[in-house]
Structure 1
Amino acid sequence: MEILNTKVAIIGAGPAGLLLGQLLYKAGIEHVIIEQRSAEYVASRIRAGILEQVSVDLLKQAGVDHNLRKKGLLHSGVEILIQGKKHRVNLSALTQGKHVTVYGQTEVTKDLMQAREQQQLLSFYEAEQVQIADFDSQPKVNFSYQGKAYQIECDFIAGCDGYHGICRDSIPQNRLKTFEKVYPFGWLGILADVPPVADELIYVQSERGFALCSMRSETRSRYYLQVPLTDHVEDWSDEQFWQELKLRLDPESREKLVTGPSIEKSIAPLRSFVTEPMRFGKLFLAGDAAHIVPPTGAKGLNLAASDIAYLSSALIEYYVQGSEQGIDEYSEKCLQRVWKAERFSWWMTHLLHRFESETEFEHKIKQAELDYMLGSQAAMMAMAENYVGLPYEITPLDIAGHTEH
């Protein structure tokens, strides 16, 4: 067995783990990334594509915003389509100039991977039999790589390995509490090289179910349909998807919709999930390892980024200033933001989707709430404030504003 020593072992090479690695590198803190999947698999995963400004600022601080600045699409508003009529929520006007940026998570991941490769930082892809141990005292990560056994001895472990990862599963059940809501439908998503139907996202509430018109670029579109959990991707041809989407759109959007062959098609179940706490001794959970949100509020990647903002700041504070305050406050600070995002994502999901168990009274109340929101400056301001992203308690400039050493 080969024994390696480092300061921080990062489990998982998704955007959370890669971003943490990049911020630690900028601060001169030794670390290693261990990932069970191949680099090609990680780079090809299709995920969300809406970044809050604080996430954009964090990527800039990490030095990986070159492509983002060139290709990201700034959006100052969103459309909500109800009963065949579109209503625009002017995000910028309601939030003193804030906006969101459309830039795919796949592209964020590729940018981070490219930076890591250029810097020749140590990463183990396709690691097998990954296990963590002794995270209350002297943390260790054991795994095999290309037939050879390794042990990493480190100061801290960052569990950025997703909902199905090994880090959360390694914690004794009596030390954590989980909160979960599983929704009775999924999102059928299609990616196609066709121009978007509109310049901004369209959220659709219809009697046939929810739909979302989104994009990844000016030539690549991402569309979603609410479907029963019993549906399978094989049940839906491209032609059937486009036809159903048209039935949920207004006449103007239907006329503008450009269809084409799918380059990716999948069904994602929806759930809300939170683990408390997010720190266990010298093990930290971040991103999907600690929480899941339904994609309706566009908070998944942004919550992972905020976790990494707090965690990188805490680790830099520990190594540069010798203070454990950030480490001690990590879980509490993250969870405050997590639960606010969970609330907003639940609210958006509840408001825009059709639930089979919904009574006529509940449906009328939902419609009244939408009417109120779209007719009230104060209500729309609250929606816009949450959509563009609630502020961090620390600013991105505090996160990695240290010279490399």
Structure 2
Amino acid sequence: MKDLDCIVIGGGAAGLMCAATAGQRGKSVAVLDHANKVGKKILMSGGGRCNFTNYFVEPANYLSQNPHFCKSALSRYTQYDFIELVSRYNLEYHEKTLGQLFCDHKAKDILNILLAECELGGVEITTQCSIEKVEQLTGDTDYRFKLHTTMGAYRCKSLVVASGGLSIPTMGATGFGYDLAKQFGLRITAREASLVPFTFKGELLTLAQSLAGVALPVVISCNNQSFKEAMLFTHKGISGPAVLQISNYWYSGNNIEINFLPDIDLAEQIAQWQSEKSKSELTTLLSRLMPKRFVVAWLAAEHAKACGANSIANKNIADLSRSDIEIIAKLFHAWQCMPAGTEGYKTAEVTRGGVNTDDVSSKTFEAKKVPGLYFIGEVLDVTGWLGGFNFQWAWASGYCAAQHV
């Protein structure tokens, strides 16, 4: 039997941050992880460069049934606090776009910083350690929990659940944290794959497959939320940053709307071409604004035939009527479709939903009805946008919980 002040279940971003911080406060801490190494999602994130935070973190960048829950932690451990930490280790990083900060070299640099911080706090890290049973202890003891694991028994005064969500099961994701929450009477909100590509079926799928590999900047909208970023056609549907972002706000049965020319008023552009007495065909001129392969396929697709746009495609610009222009403008500025679904947890970056935040303190991250039991990171019903926001939630929730374990 090993007795400790704090056990952290899960060696991801939130778990390592919490363990390092608690250890440096003088607590005896162990991290237990069932995988063969810690920090797997850190290593694969950002294309191997780890988008570790964002300059522009706001509570509005997060989804939760309780949108106020994240405010306290994000204000107490900010993006600048984490930047200060990595700067102490001389991490070289850069801003890519939209405030997103990436390592110059490799994601392992971030993991190495966390491991160095854990070492400073005397944290014991045990991998390939599965939790078989968690007991709540009562009676005359300072220890509140007993863990039965494949590496023996442990007792602890504080138990931190940082086991993540269901996304990317090939990296070891399981529903363990949710099961443990239920065991202790905490509620779980509906969970779905998020920050994930959309899939199409039927004619839309055939169209997407014919355009696989074509990327272009768009504004994509759903449920009163819009994002302006790149979109990519795939062999299954659509992907790219814009699609991943809007997937946070999409539910099965919802339509999405896409503006393929977010920076141009197409009706005004066509009017200008007409004023210039251009004799070119519409398709030719549109191909100056968007990839020709996309323009040709889009004007020949079933949705174009349905609104009559395909018959306009080969007209000379000079011959376009006002109604022709309206049809074409709508086709490229306000195209609507209903995705068949998403690619699911196997490619999702995060899990939307999780442990109900109404059952957890926003200050300490302790379960309100279970003293000594804490939940941090992705296992909670807090989901950030793409762009470093979920890592910042991991750092903030892990740091703040560590002040109280």
Normalising by the smaller structure, the TM-score range is: 0.3 to 0.5
Higher strand share: 1
Higher helix share: 1
Higher relative contact order, structure no. (Cα contacts within 8 Å, ≥ 6 residues apart): 2
What TM-score, normalized to structure 1? 0.48
